[in-house]
Amino acid sequence: MATNTAVSEIANRYATALFELADEQSRLDEVAGDLARLVESIDESQDLQRLVRSPVLNREEQGKAMTAILEAMEVGDLTKNFVGLIAQNRRLFALTDMVKGFLDELARRRGEVTAEVTAARSLSESQIAALQETLQRSLGGKVSIAHAVDPALIGGMVVKVGSRMVDTSLRTQLNKMQIAMKGVS
């Protein structure tokens, strides 16, 4: 638990510093886009996950690898410099937490809330748009959707907004039925 707190504190400090710098330079949207693409690439690549989490690679190796990746992705200089700095400081293990902190602060500043939507299968663009519209009407503000897929849900979806959660998954309904049936026997 203490380790997660330490990582969270490190991530928040770096995210705040980057946010303030990007805000000063009027590059919040550019940096947010760069960071979102980078985290998406990390999520999709086990090699990248190993790179950012590896205690075996030294700071120079991690820095060179990240520089090459960022140049191939054609991210802005501010993002390249930021990732280079965290590689130099041996903080790549907290990169995804830093990005989350940055994007959360950007959303907070814009009055947006993020709905974490987990579905049994990938939702289409039109389904995401309809869900976003429904949530915006319900919550009375801007809503962005963070979409994930979990086939273990069997069907339906789980929607989390802040501390509120609506679970309409088939898995949960079956679990509830199973518990109810135990009381009948």
| Residue 83 CB neighbour total at 10 angstroms | 27
The per-residue pLDDT for range 46-105, each reduced to its tens digit, is 999 999 998 899 999 999 999 999 999 999 999 999 999 999 999 999 999 999 999 989
- What percent of the chain stands above pLDDT 70? 97
Amino acid at 74: E
Residue partners of 103: CB distance under 8 A and separation at least 6: 32, 35, 36
- CA 42 – CA 31 distance, rounded (Å): 16
- CA 164 – CA 115 distance, rounded (Å): 10
- CA 185 – CA 30 distance, rounded (Å): 60
The per-residue pLDDT for range 99-116, each reduced to its tens digit, is 999 998 998 898 888 899
* Helix, coil or strand: residue 159: strand
Q: Give the total residue count for the chain.
A: 185
With b for 16 or more beta-carbon neighbours within 10 A and e for fewer, the 51-81 pattern comes to bbeeeebeeeebbebbeebbeeeebbebbbe
Q: What is the mean pLDDT of the chain?
A: 91
- For the segment(s) 2-107, the CATH number from 1.10.520.20, 3.30.470.30, 3.40.50.720, 3.90.1280.10 is 1.10.520.20
pTM for this predicted structure: 0.69
Dump strand ranges (E) for the chain. Answer: 112-119, 142-149, 157-161, 164-167
CA distances from 117 to 90, 91, 130, 175 (A): 32, 29, 13, 20
Amino acid at 29: D
For residues 49 and 139, the answer to whether their CB atoms sit within 8 Å is no
With b for 16 or more beta-carbon neighbours within 10 A and e for fewer, the 33-42 pattern comes to ebbeebbeeb
- CA 98 – CA 8 distance, rounded (Å): 8
The per-residue pLDDT for range 115-151, each reduced to its tens digit, is 999 999 999 999 999 999 999 998 888 898 988 999 9
